[in-house]
Amino acid sequence: MTTTELQPATLPAVPTGLFIDGRWRDGARTFDVENPATGVVLASVADGTADDARRAIDAAAAAQDQWARTAPRERSEILRRAYELVIARTEDFATLMTLEMGKPLAEARGEVAYGAEFLRWFSEEAVRIAGDTTVTGDGRNRILVGRAPVGPCVLITPWNFPLAMGTRKIGPAVAAGCTMVFKPAPQTPLTALLLTEVLREAGLPDGVLNTVATTDAAAVVTEWVEGGKARKISFTGSTNVGKILLGQAAKTVMRTSMELGGNAPFLVCADADVDKAVDGAMVAKLRNMGEACTAANRFYVHRDVVDEFTTKLAERMSALTVGDGTAPGTDVGPLIDAAGLGKVERLVADAVAKGARIVTGGERAGETGYFYRPTVLADVPADAELAATEIFGPVAPVHVFDDEDEAIAAANDTDAGLVAYLFTQDIDRAWRLSDRIEAGMVGLNTGLVSNPAAPFGGVKQSGLGREGGRVGIDEFLEYKYLAIPKG
Ligand code: ADP
């Protein structure tokens, strides 16, 4: 334990207003941000209205033309400076995230490194935007294909990764030359507001980024999506809200990037290294208390190794310390709110009623805060509600399988297709099963796939488009083709 973990709980100074056209402004009303570990109110934040939303998108639209014409190197340097500033303020960002959403400080520091890296990655991509030239088949015309920013973007982020989900959208938008309106989740606005301030300090021109926190997401976002001035929406959140936004985006034929829910299968084959599978399961299940769209949601374990895997996983899970994320030694923080805790309790009760056995955990911890014990459920029947629902909590349901076809059928028996985890030491099986799993990402003998250098995204109802990697910037660029007769 480092000594910096001993007194971390003081809230850093954070702007709490609306950020529109390069200025912090007061809102007509405010809302409270609560610490899920204690229920204590951390801050009151300006609560944006539809009028504020209109001012924000007007500022973004007015800034677009000038911003699109800035030199790529200038945009790159702004992102690079923002990266340095976020890293320099690691403790402030980490403390904010722990206080407003509960993750343990060590994990929050990990998110600072991960989130900042999107700024650095896209600072490098900003100067590598390339087109091409060819000649038409009949030889009469040159085809010159360039890239142009799509225009003002609507960015909407969830509460589970308050920094990284912001930088993963802002990084490529800035690199591509798009202006932005940004709405963070109401549970975690403080991290987004500090990020906004850091980008201002890094030299982002007025109007390029406009941040509006609100408790009335529908009013603010409708203004942006249906108002006609924005050209693109990039959303990370639930599949249900994603579907609403896709419907709204249809009205103005807006480009869309959607990172929606997952329901990740975690397959452990008979030939797997069980200890490595347990290590992977601890990360895939418990990172962020299980509150991640990449969280392993269903464990399918071969009958030959299911007892060993379940016993070892339960031993590791029951040894974890549940508590306030600011306290030294905490492994598992609180869930985000009463609704999140209630959902986990309900899903476990349903599985148990249908025949599942609690190996460890299975109950909330403490009377205050929204804590739930790390839980392993064995003998989970296929019709348990949690097999079809994102649990978003530290609960590992273990199902048994006997052959590959059965495992693949079960893994793919979902509308979601974000990520899958596969543990096997047989290289042929690894390729074969990776090919057959319907997911945008596969973790092969690893419980962690997220990385700024990789294309993050899903198939089926897990979303549209990719974030990060070489292709992440494409979501914010249009092709523009110039026909030039050959002389
Ligand atoms: P979660 O269940 O993880 O909170 P949501 O999809 O509800 O997921 O939230 C993700 C983001 O979408 C948050 O910023 C939230 O405020 C926003 N949001 C929720 N409802 C709407 C809506 N009707 N229109 C636009 N954004 C919304």
Q: What angle do CA 290, 293, 294 make, to 5 degrees?
A: 80
Lay out the sheet containing 395-401: strands in order across. Answer: 357-360, 375-378, 395-401, 296-302, 264-268, 419-423, 441-444
Question: Which residue has 């973004």 as its token pair?
Answer: 60
Ligand 1 contacts CB of residue 205 (under 6 A):
no
Q: Please report the pLDDT score of residue 4 as a whole number.
A: 31
Distance 155 CA to ligand 1 centre (A): 11
Q: Are residues 313 and 184 in the same domain?
A: no
CA nearest to 282, candidates 175, 374, 415, 379: 374
Q: Tell me: the pLDDT tens digits for 59-90?
A: 999 999 999 999 999 999 999 999 999 999 99
Given the CA of residue 244, which atom of ligand 1 is nearest to it? Answer: 23
Residue 474 lies in a domain: yes
244 lines ligand 1 (CB under 6 A): yes
CB environment 94-123: b (16+ within 10 A), e (fewer): bbbbbbbbbbbbbbbbbbbebbbbbbbbbb
Q: What is the pLDDT of residue 1?
A: 24
Residue 288 has pLDDT above 50, yes or no: yes
How many angstroms separate the alpha carbon of residue 238 from the centre of ligand 1? Answer: 7
Looking at the structure, do residues 443 and 394 belong to the same domain, yes or no? yes
- Sign of torsion over alpha carbons 199, 204, 206, 207: negative
Q: Could you tell me if residue 182 is inside a domain? A: yes
Same domain, 202 and 301: no
The band of 353, judged by pLDDT with boundaries at 50, 70 and 90, is very high
CA of 149 to the centre of ligand 1 (A): 26
Residue of 241, 246, 291 with the most ligand 1 atoms within 8 Å of its CB, for mutation: 241
Strand pairing report for 141-149 and 477-485: antiparallel
Within a domain: 252: yes
State the residue range of the domain holding 308.
264-413+419-451
CATH number of residue 368's parent domain: 3.40.309.10
Q: Is 457 part of a structural domain of the chain?
A: no
> Could you give the CA distance from residue 6 to residue 327 in angstroms, rounded to a whole number?
7
Whether 7 shows a pLDDT value over 80: the answer reads no
**17-73 tens-digit pLDDT:** 999 999 999 999 999 999 999 999 999 999 999 999 999 999 999 999 999 999 999
Share of the chain above pLDDT 90, in %: 96
Q: Does ligand 1 lie within 6 Å of residue 186's CB atom?
A: yes
Average pLDDT of the segment spanning 243-265? 98
Domain match, 199 and 55 both: yes
Range 332-341 average pLDDT: 97
Q: Would the pLDDT of 399 be above 60?
A: yes
Which atom of ligand 1 sits closest to the CA of residue 186? 16
Q: How far apart are CA 25 and CA 28, in angstroms?
A: 10
Residue pair 237/219 in contact by the 8 Å Cβ criterion: no
pLDDT over 70 percentage in the chain = 98
Q: Per the domain annotation, does 2 fall within a domain?
A: no
Domain containing 70 — which CATH number? 3.40.605.10
Take atom 12 of ligand 1 and give the residue whose Cα is closest.
237
Same domain, 324 and 409: yes
In this predicted model, what pLDDT tens digit does every residue of 409-458 receive, in sequence order?
A: 999 999 999 999 999 999 999 999 999 999 999 999 999 999 999 999 99
Same domain, 19 and 82: yes
Q: Is 3 inside a domain boundary?
A: no
Identify whether residues 273 and 343 lie together within a single domain: yes
Nearest ligand 1 atom to the CA of 238 is 6
Whether 272 shows a pLDDT value over 90: the answer reads yes
How many C-beta neighbours within 10 Å does residue 38 have? 16
In a domain, 196, yes or no: yes
Characterize the bridge pairing of strands 255-259 and 463-464.
antiparallel
pLDDT at position 368: 87
> 387: alpha, beta or left, given left = phi > 0 and alpha = psi -120 to 50?
alpha
- Are 230 and 343 within one domain? no
Distance from residue 242's CA to the centre of ligand 1 (Å) = 8
Confidence of residue 6 (pLDDT cuts 50, 70, 90): very low
256 and 268 co-located in one domain: no
Q: Which tens digits make up the pLDDT trace of 103-142?
A: 999 999 999 999 999 999 999 999 999 999 999 999 999 9
Q: Are residues 275 and 218 in the same domain?
A: no
Query: How many domains does the chain divide into?
Result: 2
Catalytic residue among 111, 125, 259, 291: 259
Q: Is 225 in the pocket of ligand 1 (CB under 6 A)?
A: no
Ligand 1 midpoint to CA 80 (Å): 30
Question: Does the beta carbon of 221 sit less than 6 angstroms from any atom of ligand 1?
Answer: yes
Same structural domain, 221 and 86: yes
Answer yes or no: is 240 within a domain: yes
C-beta of 185 in contact with ligand 1 (< 6 A): yes
Band of pLDDT at residue 5, cut at 50, 70 and 90:
very low
Q: For 156-192, write each residue's pLDDT tens digit.
A: 999 999 999 999 999 999 999 999 999 999 999 999 9
131 Cβ inside 6 Å of ligand 1: no
**Confidence at residue 9, expressed as pLDDT on a 0 to 100 scale:** 62
| Residue nearest to ligand 1 atom 17, measured at CA | 217
The mean predicted confidence, pLDDT, of the chain is 96
Whether 221 and 274 share a structural domain: no
